[in-house]
Structure 1
Amino acid sequence: MSIPDPDWEVQNEERHDMLDRQMAIYTSESIAWSIWSYKDVNVMGMTYVSPDSSWLKLLGPMIKKKRDLAVDSWAYDDAHLQDGLFGPLHKWFEDNVPAQYSKKYPWQWRMHMHVFRGIRGITLAEYMIPEWADYFKDKSFEELDELAASWKYENCIQRGRLNELLKLYAPMKADDSHLEGKVIESEQTSSDGSISKEQSVSGVGIFELSPEEKARAELKKQQHQSQVVPVAA
């Protein structure tokens, strides 16, 4: 069973600080942005359903079960499921699938992500759908209407600090004085300002290129290396 993180407030503040820095960079470079997490059950939405709502009072046990089983494909914690369960299963896959065949779409996923998606994110999740639906069984129209009303804007809670940052940066321009001291100017690594492949994070970490992308990148590198560099007389 997962245990709520006692440091969640500290971690949230760190996330807000990171978002502040991220938005400062976007604004200083005039990069367009949007946010899609408008409303949820207190995961990352700008607004979220109240803990006192009919929705959470009814579905609280099911939401807790989903969290404990790490079924959701976003914002899940499966550390408590590794020892003796998914850890050995991941190793079993790694031991039996040759490395050269271990990659499949989407390429940025490691093998354990495919295992998670197939077993928990799809199979187990499908088994839980009728269990979830039974929570609404025999509810009257009035009860269902009250449950739906839990999601009305006026009944939801705003995620204060997140919304403050979004409201601050939404109208901001690249020359705003608020950005002074918040953004470190990037250094050019060559005369034309380009960044070498070794300094780029493309293809490193979880963002791994597909074989086709790797082939194109290698061809481009070879073409670049074969170019004749003029020598001054």
Structure 2
Amino acid sequence: MSFLKVKGKDIVKENNEKIYLRGVSFGGWLNMENFITGYPGAESSVRKAIKEELGEKRYQAFFDSLLDSFITESDFEFLAEIGATVVRVPFNYRHFEDDMNPGEYKDDIFKYLDKVVELGKKYGIYIILDLHAAQGWQNAGWHSDNPKNISLLWDNKDYQDRVANLWQHIALRYKDEAFIAGYDLINEPDSPNMEKLNKFYKKVVKAIREVDQKHIIFLEGNHHSKDFEGLADPFDDNLAYSSHNYTPATHSARRYPGPVVEMDRATGSVYADKKWLEESLLERNDWIFKHQRPSWIGEFGALFDGAVNNPTPADGQRLKALKDQLDIFNKYDQHWTIWTYKDIGVQGLVVPKQESEYLKRIAGLDKIKRELGLDAWTARNHGFLQAETSKILKIVANSVATNLNDLSLDYSGEWFKKLGQRSICGTVSTMLSSIYAAQFIDLSEKEIKDMHEQAFKFENLEKREYLIEVLKNALK
């Protein structure tokens, strides 16, 4: 397999043959996420709780066996069978360095990254490495392993230097590895402005190019990969660009085509159909199209509320929207990776069986999380505590209106979202990390390993056949 490179708006092999990078993301593996594997809060918080509750040896057994079981050769064999040409591998900087010892790389993670590269070679699947959780947090989300809900990266030179140095360290190892399609510099940046983002991107690209001139570098839009206006014109011959294209039609719609509420709550209700989905893509990716560079939809996907083989009527409607979305992506020659490949039942192509020991042990906590709305992604601004949050904001709004005669603030939009994420999905979820850890306190190291293998090894999973069929058709 040859190195890939950018040629105008296309990605081509060394013989100039066009290739489309289309496949899945390995979300929840080397960067864990709460709704994907079932814990509350952020990865670093739950790791701390597991160590405190189970002790060092069982802590190591817990996470080693989870990582070893989550992705194996059987997963690659399956992905090759359905036609995937690429896998996006999100990773957390904490696998490489400790905050108390910045720049002292542990490199244990390379056994996993090397494994996916070798499996990619065997099954003809390219790999995109994605820094999903960066030093100093590039956004306030749980998916950045961010228990504080604040972003420090953009105003801190030390954090930015660490990101650049880490990428150089990774690029030095893989500079001659053709099965790596490229480097996704940072997931869903949320910089205060484009000037800071442009300076950061140029800094990191420069660090990589000092050791690796061959690989494609993917740059994501600002504000969670949605905004590109103001991004610096392409400053390297081998740059491609990535947007994330989540839509309420696949996220929360009850029927499709039909009315949906915009995910940012700013524009109210719209009528979602294939025409609207197409216009949304063209609007979001307009900057990329104008600059005639490759466009990669790094994330998109549907949320399913029913069991893996018993979808709700609304699940079927969201699947129809997803199919239309894929048709549109392919019409405009987009590269894409769906989010996400494997989880405990919300989005995955493959999921653990309900009778697995792991799911049985976390079942009670999962019900609590759903009832209270503790996972930001799946709660969709619902849950008992979200309802109580709205009462708090109404009290504040009433006090401001009564005492200052001021009714100008939109309490139902951004403030509702911030208070919910920081207090409910942040503080309360982190508080329950120890409760999650306690569900495994009676297990030996071997029992922990057996539990994870039963839950997450491909051979033991259920397939979401209706989703897989849609993807197979799009991958033809």
TM-score range, shorter chain: 0.5 to 0.7
The letter of the residue matching 1:136 is: F
Partner in structure 2 of residue 114 of structure 1: 418
Q: How far apart in 2 are the matches of 1:117 and 1:138? A: 32
TM-aligned CA distance change 1:94 to 1:47, over 3 Å: farther
Partner in structure 1 of residue 445 of structure 2: 141
The SS at the match of 1:45 is coil
**Is residue 2:474 matched to residue 1:157?**
no
Partner in structure 2 of residue 71 of structure 1: 374
The SS at the match of 1:43 is coil
2:373/2:383 contact within 8 Å kept: no
Partner in structure 2 of residue 86 of structure 1: 389
Within 5 Å, which residues of 2 pair with 1:214-233? none
2:343/2:350 contact within 8 Å kept: yes
Runs of 5+ consecutive residues of structure 1 not aligned to the other structure: 104-108, 172-233
Q: Deviations over 1:9-35 (max 9, x none)?
A: 101100110011111111111122111
TM-aligned CA distance change 1:117 to 1:68, over 3 Å: same
Q: Deviations over 1:157-189 (max 9, x none)?
A: 111111111111123xxxxxxxxxxxxxxxxxx
Partner in structure 2 of residue 127 of structure 1: 431
Q: How far apart in 2 are the matches of 1:67 and 1:78? A: 11
Bigger shift: residues 82-91 or 61-70: 82-91
2:343/2:351 contact within 8 Å kept: yes
2:350/2:463 contact within 8 Å kept: yes
Q: How far apart in 1 are the matches of 2:386 and 2:423? A: 17
Partner in structure 2 of residue 106 of structure 1: none
Q: Deviations over 1:111-166 (max 9, x none)?
A: 11101011111110111001111111131122211211111111111111111111
The SS at the match of 2:377 is coil
The SS at the match of 2:323 is helix
TM-aligned CA distance change 1:88 to 1:110, over 3 Å: same
The letter of the residue matching 1:69 is: L
Q: How far apart in 2 are the matches of 1:31 and 1:77? A: 28
The letter of the residue matching 2:354 is: P
Q: How far apart in 1 are the matches of 2:417 and 2:466? A: 32
Q: Deviations over 1:32-62 (max 9, x none)?
A: 2111311111011111111011111111111
User: Which among 334, 347, 354 is matched to residue 31 of structure 1?
Assistant: 334
**Is residue 2:471 matched to residue 1:166?**
yes
Query: Post-superposition shift, 1:100?
Result: 7.2
Instruction: Please state which structure has a larger fraction of its residues in helix.
Output: 1
- Compare relative contact order (CA 8 Å, sep 6+) and give the higher one, 1 or 2: 1
The percentage of counterpart residues that share the same residue type is 22
2:323/2:470 contact within 8 Å kept: yes
Q: How far apart in 1 are the matches of 2:325 and 2:386? A: 35
The letter of the residue matching 2:372 is: L
2:386/2:420 contact within 8 Å kept: no
Q: How far apart in 1 are the matches of 2:314 and 2:387? A: 28
1:49/1:151 contact within 8 Å kept: yes
Q: How far apart in 2 are the matches of 1:83 and 1:157? A: 32
Q: What is the TM-score of this pair, normalised by structure 1?
A: 0.62
1:69/1:78 contact within 8 Å kept: no
1:26/1:32 contact within 8 Å kept: yes
The letter of the residue matching 1:17 is: K
Partner in structure 2 of residue 18 of structure 1: 321
Within 5 Å, which residues of 2 pair with 1:87-102? 87-95=390-398, 96=400
Q: Deviations over 1:88-118 (max 9, x none)?
A: 1132344549777779xxxxx6211101011
Q: Deviations over 1:180-207 (max 9, x none)?
A: xxxxxxxxxxxxxxxxxxxxxxxxxxxx
The SS at the match of 1:33 is strand
Bigger shift: residues 60-69 or 81-90: 81-90
1:54/1:146 contact within 8 Å kept: no
Query: Post-superposition shift, 1:69?
Result: 1.0
The letter of the residue matching 1:92 is: I
**Is residue 2:365 matched to residue 1:62?**
yes
Aligned length: 163
Q: How far apart in 1 are the matches of 2:359 and 2:375? A: 17
Bigger shift: residues 142-151 or 116-125: 142-151
TM-aligned CA distance change 1:99 to 1:164, over 3 Å: farther
Partner in structure 2 of residue 52 of structure 1: 355
TM-aligned CA distance change 1:8 to 1:85, over 3 Å: farther
